């Protein structure tokens, strides 16, 4: 009988062994889940930064190309931050206007109906477009916000300077 007794002990795991192995497995799964959540937050933050950077870069490229080819350009900050320009090949004026209420920059061109064509959105509510004119050099800074992986607000900005042909 003592041989049968030894054989039955070796057939399975005890309750304590099962509880210990399940606890270890749960700790490992919790660590993997925590790592997955952190990686997900980092990836979301990085894709938001890339999206903001691409939007600002594209808008600044359009603005810079238009203003570089302008014969004249003037800044008006009395009603809204805006830059009005006239180009050599086009008798119409174009306007880049910052609209703080909607945090966007409109590109207004009379030859296409004169309505607000959204150039870039989701700009900073107070300093979305900063314009300066020093000795004929127009400097434009576009500022947007994004959230980092810790859900903190961060700013991303793109600046360029142009010299109209006048």
How confident is the model at residue 3, as a pLDDT? Answer: 52
Q: Are 124 and 145 in contact (CB under 8 A)?
A: yes
Q: Which residue has the higher pLDDT, 93 or 156?
A: 156
Q: Are 105 and 97 in contact (CB under 8 A)?
A: yes
Cα atoms found within 13 Å of the Cα of residue 9, Cβ hemisphere only: 6
What value does the mean pLDDT take over residues 8-16? 76
Residue 164 binned pLDDT confidence (cut-offs 50, 70, 90)? low
How confident is the model at residue 90, as a pLDDT? Answer: 65
For residue 25, what is the enclosing H or E element? Answer: helix 15-68
123: DSSP letter: B
Q: Which of 21-30, 76-85, 111-120 has the highest mean pLDDT?
A: 21-30
As a whole number of angstroms, the distance between CA 45 and CA 51 comes to 10
How confident is the model at residue 59, as a pLDDT? Answer: 93
149: DSSP letter: T
Q: Tokens 């500022």: give the residue.
A: 143
Segment 62-115, tens digit of pLDDT: 999 888 888 888 888 776 788 888 876 666 688 999 988 889 999 988 777 778
């Amino acid at each position: 009988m003592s041989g049968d007794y030894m054989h039955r002990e070796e057939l399975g795991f005890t309750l304590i062994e099962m509880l210990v192995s399940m606890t270890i497995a749960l700790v490992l799964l919790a660590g993997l889940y925590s790592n997955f959540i952190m990686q997900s937050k980092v990836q979301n933050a990085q894709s938001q930064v890339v999206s903001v950077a691409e939007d600002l870069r594209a808008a600044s490229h359009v603005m810079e190309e238009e203003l570089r080819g302008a014969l004249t350009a003037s800044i008006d900050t009395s009603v809204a931050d805006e830059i009005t320009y006239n180009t050599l090949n086009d008798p119409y004026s174009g306007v880049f206007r910052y609209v703080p209420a909607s945090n966007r920059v409109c590109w207004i061109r009379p030859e296409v109906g004169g309505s607000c064509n959204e150039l870039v959105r989701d700009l900073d509510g107070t300093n979305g477009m900063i314009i300066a004119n020093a000795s004929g050099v127009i400097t434009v800074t576009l500022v947007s916000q994004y959230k980092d992986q810790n859900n903190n607000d961060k700013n991303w900005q793109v600046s360029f300077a142009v010299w109209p042909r006048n």
